[in-house]
Amino acid sequence: MMWWWLFLILSYIVAVVLFHVYIRYLSSRRINFNSKSPPVIIEPWYCPFLGPVLSFLNLEASINKWRAKYGANFTLLIFGKYVTFVTKYVDIKKYYHGTEEMLSLTKAAQILLGSAYPENQYMVEYSAVPYLQRILTPRYLRHMALNFEIVADDYFNTKNGQFWAENGDETVVDLFEFMYRLIIRSNSINFTSFRVYKNHVEELIRLFTILDVEKSIANPITYGLKKRLGMKSDRDIAWEQWTQLLMPDIERCLKMIENNIEPVDGDIIYETIKYAKEELEKRGQIFTPRLVAFLTFSTFVPAQVNTYTTAAFMILEWIRHEHDEIGQRMKEEIDHAPPKGEITIEYLNSMEYVQACIYEVIRIRTDSPVSFRLAGQPVPLSNEKFIPEGNIVASPLTRAEDLYLNPEKFDPDRHLTPREEMKADPYRALPFGRGRHPCTGERYVKMQIKMFLIQLSKMCKMELMPESNNFEATINKKQLAGLSRPTKPVFIKISKREL
């Protein structure tokens, strides 16, 4: 037994030495660029194996430490990949104005997510960004807004949800779970079809939860190993089922396209299939349902990472501020909403105070997310430096506390005139990104959260349960992706309001 231990320790030491030699001598060739400007400092951060992973779990502290040591922009070698962190203001600004060719989100996503993202081979050529730009137009958004009403109503009252019938007029739920399901329900009607929503929404939520991209990134070894051994994982099976779920709509829409039949308004899956067909034809490829499955799946992922968290925290702030000025101002906009079926995008856009609360929730819950892109060309930086092509370029999305007055305080007015504190540095105050790469889903998601607040306030009363009073203490500020979230359920009581 002792020999085994000795063998393991020796192997570890040999591996560490080899890694050291590789970093110090072989990889140092990387800085021999034939250029008059030097590349941004390439200082391999040296602590093999567990080190980088552990540091990532406390990203903010690590970035501050590295920044103090290497300067505002620095490059780390992490598991064989050069990752350049950009934290200097003028360079962050350049980062947000780089073109997709220069700083590609999709190429970085393909490298970082790998097969943890279903059909990830489509990421580069068939990026979901232009697809989302095509469907999130005012025409479709109008339809989507009305769909939120249908979903909230169905969820509580009809066969689709039967919330009251199953739970009674007063029940306790885990708020984050509740919002997760409600948001996916509404995304299913908006990004797949009414048929999928009406008949298969529970199945879709189950499949999406198995396909959870975050969990797969955190556990790539098991998944990768199963793949290499030719074994089907639960994710592979779920992915096949996801595609199968869409097949009747795909067949229907292909026939419509063939016979030149126009879709009814708001038939999003028709638009998706048409888009997939056109894109494949442009590249001389035949139609495949797999691309449609990839595109629809991509529209759900941001909900998993950010939307349900923002929506749940909005409700918590609403409960917390019920008896003060913040709560009253939210209530005013919510209560003044036109009746069911008559809410317009214009009204939703006019809800500026609620919108400021959304920005404030995102600001307060932004602890460690990082924006990643791949340098497709050398990226020029200040001080005659540049990021070499092929590096992953990262920019931390921070709370930029120094920009704000009393940054710990939930204070929506800081986002409104006359204060507009974020204007002091719009490239570090980024609820939805900036420049050439803002969030494609921003208008959709703001509309979604506002609509749900209006609907929920009409249908139920929500109170925080005493056992969850200390939910702040359970928040994980070191998420691998997205906003900070509680690690334990946050229980709220939902009571039916008579309409």
- Does the footprint of ligand HEM cover residue 151 (CB under 6 A)? no
Based on CB atoms, which residue is closest to ligand HEM, 192 or 307? 307
- Does the footprint of ligand HEM cover residue 14 (CB under 6 A)? no
Least distance CB 81 / ligand HEM (angstroms): 18
Sign of the CA dihedral running 140, 142, 145, 151: negative
Based on CB atoms, which residue is closest to ligand HEM, 128 or 150? 128
- Give the residue, chosen from 132, 173, 337, 356, that forms a contact with ligand HEM under the rule CB under 6 A: 132
DSSP for 20-86, please give it.
HHIIIIIGGGGG---SSSPBSPB------THHHHHHHHTHHHHHHHHHHHH-SEEEEEETTEEEEEE
Based on CB atoms, which residue is closest to ligand HEM, 163 or 448? 448
* Chain centroid offset of residue 424 CA: 26
Please state, in angstroms and rounded to a whole number, the distance separating the CA atoms of residues 439 and 52.
28
Based on CB atoms, which residue is closest to ligand HEM, 216 or 448? 448
- Residue identified by tokens 């939307």 is 307
> Burial level of 472, CB count in 10 A (0-12/13-18/19+)?
exposed
Annotated binding site: 439
Based on CB atoms, which residue is closest to ligand HEM, 77 or 483? 483
- Does the footprint of ligand HEM cover residue 303 (CB under 6 A)? yes
Q: What single-letter amino acid sits at 192? A: T
Please state, in angstroms and rounded to a whole number, the distance separating the CA atoms of residues 206 and 194.
18
Based on CB atoms, which residue is closest to ligand HEM, 96 or 156? 96
- Give the residue, chosen from 110, 186, 310, 391, that forms a contact with ligand HEM under the rule CB under 6 A: 310
- Give the residue, chosen from 415, 437, 443, 485, that forms a contact with ligand HEM under the rule CB under 6 A: 437
Site string (336-375) toward ligand HEM, x via CB under 6 A:
--------------------------x--------x----
Tell me which stretch binds ligand HEM (CB under 6 A): 114-122, 126-134, 405-413, 473-481.
126-134
Least distance CB 432 / ligand HEM (angstroms): 5
Least distance CB 33 / ligand HEM (angstroms): 26
Angle at 425 between CA 419 and CA 428, to 5 degrees: 120
Based on CB atoms, which residue is closest to ligand HEM, 132 or 337? 132
- Does the footprint of ligand HEM cover residue 484 (CB under 6 A)? no
Total residues in contact with ligand HEM, by rule CB under 6 A: 22
The tokens of 488 are what?
């334990």
Annotated binding site for heme: 439
| Closest residue to ligand HEM, based on beta-carbon distance | 441
- CB proximity list for 461: less than 8 A, separation 6 or greater: 494, 495, 497
- Does the footprint of ligand HEM cover residue 440 (CB under 6 A)? yes
Tell me which stretch binds ligand HEM (CB under 6 A): 41-49, 341-349, 440-448, 457-465.
440-448
Sign of the CA dihedral running 346, 271, 482, 458: positive
> Between β-strands 73-78 and 386-387, what pairing exists: parallel, antiparallel or unpaired?
unpaired
Long-range contacts of 185-189 (CB under 8 A, 24+ apart): 185/151, 185/155, 185/161, 186/147, 186/148, 186/151, 186/448, 186/452, 187/299, 187/300, 187/303, 189/147, 189/150, 189/151
- For ligand HEM, the binding residues in 378-397 under the rule CB under 6 A are 397
Please state, in angstroms and rounded to a whole number, the distance separating the CA atoms of residues 106 and 83.
16
- Which residues in this chain contact ligand HEM in the complex, by CB under 6 A? 105, 128-129, 132, 299, 302-303, 306-307, 310, 362, 371, 397, 430, 432-433, 437, 439-441, 444-445
